[in-house]
Amino acid sequence: MQIDFLTEARRQAEICNACRYCEGYCSVFPALHAERAFSDGDLTQLANLCHNCRGCYYACQYTAPHEFDLNLPQALANVRQDSWEEFAFPQAAARAFQKRGALIAIATVVCFALLFWAIRAIGSHGGEGFYAVLSHGAMVAIFLPAFFFPLASIGVSLRRYWQATGGGTVTFSDIRHAFAAAANMRNLSGGHGDGCNFEDEDRFSQARRLAHQTVMYGFLLCFASTSVATFMHYFLNMPAPYGLFSVPKLLGLSGGVLLVLGCFEMIRLKLRSDRHLGAENAWGGEIGFIGLLGFVGLSGLLLYVLGQSSLMSALLVLHLGAVLTFFLLTPFTKMAHGFFRLTALTRDAQRIRLGAATA
């Protein structure tokens, strides 16, 4: 990790530790105030607890033009972004995506779409509906490795993170508290409960929290749709295509709508926000990832609407190209932040539990 990011974050954390004005704002400050000195691992943990809601910045009396020049959201965002790149496997792919994320996402989707079109052209048919364009066997052969690769890669990353932050043996209680915090995203509601002022200094809003929840639950519904369809295909001998009111279709439709709406809102909020309060060198990669995720949902919805038209083949290869790109790039995009955030929340729950036991 770049030493400048850690040094600056340490300087600011020490000032915040002396001030303690923002103690009730989010999980960062109780964890910060529990320390007297900050190791690199401590700063990495604090950075991954931070949701970049920016409430502490707008409330701080030591921001520029004060000589302390505090900008804790940016300092933690830089450490957080650098930690994702450092712990990523392989690292080079993560650093490349953060610099040219949108370009890499678009190019990869187009390349995979052309590959699927070529497979279709040489005769990979073998079923009804979408399988008439690309056979079930071809889809499984392509997507099964693409599903397990990011899981393995993220597993390596999280192991590195856990070791770097000094994590110990986890209990079920730690995991339960972490999932509860992630499910309702309470740290995006602000210390006062009125939300954060991510896009506007003087306006508190729950918009960013709701956008994150919309994307998260939309993705989970889409994943549930695929899981149910897999179960129906292999265990109930009910292969696709499925009717509009079938469980896979209902889950997929609702999830796709939530994904598109949530991604659109997140991009809108990012465009309105102050880049100076985040990791500026990662802005393109974040927009590229949100755009890719939104396109996965949008192309899936278009397939539902135009699945019986002459456009179906072209839409299918684009959608499959976007899905494959999403899976393969997941360990190097901001999608990985969900896994890091959950791990950081687990580590924080462990800190609280151990602190209570020794009190």
Q: According to the model, what pLDDT value does residue 141 have?
A: 79
The predicted-structure confidence for 35-58, as pLDDT tens digits, reads as follows 889 999 999 999 999 988 888 898
The reply to whether 59 falls in a domain is no
Any domain includes 7: no
**Mean pLDDT confidence for 179-186:** 88
> Would you tell me the crossing angle of helices 72-87 and 91-121 to the nearest 10 degrees?
60
- 74, part of any domain: no
Most confident of 21-30, 49-58, 151-160: 151-160
In a domain, 297, yes or no: yes
Between CA 251 and CA 181 the distance in angstroms is 24
Q: Tens digit of pLDDT for each residue in 261-285?
A: 999 999 999 888 888 998 888 888 8
Q: How much of the chain, in percent, has pLDDT values that exceed 70? A: 92
Nearest-angstrom CA–CA distance, 331 and 112: 18
Q: Is residue 56 part of a domain?
A: no
- Asked if residue 121 belongs to a domain, the reply is yes
Distance CA 5, CA 14 (A): 14
Question: Average of pLDDT values for 326-342?
Answer: 89
Task: For helices 72-87 and 3-19, give the axis angle rounded to 10 degrees.
Answer: 140
Entry pTM = 0.87
* Mean pLDDT lowest among 9-18, 158-167, 232-241: 232-241
Residue 71, C-beta contacts closer than 8 angstroms, at least 6 positions apart? 12, 57, 63, 64, 276, 277
pLDDT of 285 reads 82
Whether the pLDDT of residue 191 is over 70: the answer is no
Q: What is the pLDDT of residue 15?
A: 95
Q: Give pLDDT, residue 24.
A: 77
Which residue range is the domain that position 125 belongs to?
89-358
Whether residue 57 lies inside any domain: the answer is: no
Range scoring the smallest mean pLDDT among 1-5, 278-282, 302-306, 310-314: 1-5
Half-sphere CA count of 109, side-chain side, radius 13 A: 22
pLDDT at 110 over 70: yes
Residue 220 within any structural domain of the chain: yes
Structurally, the chain folds into a number of domains equal to: 1
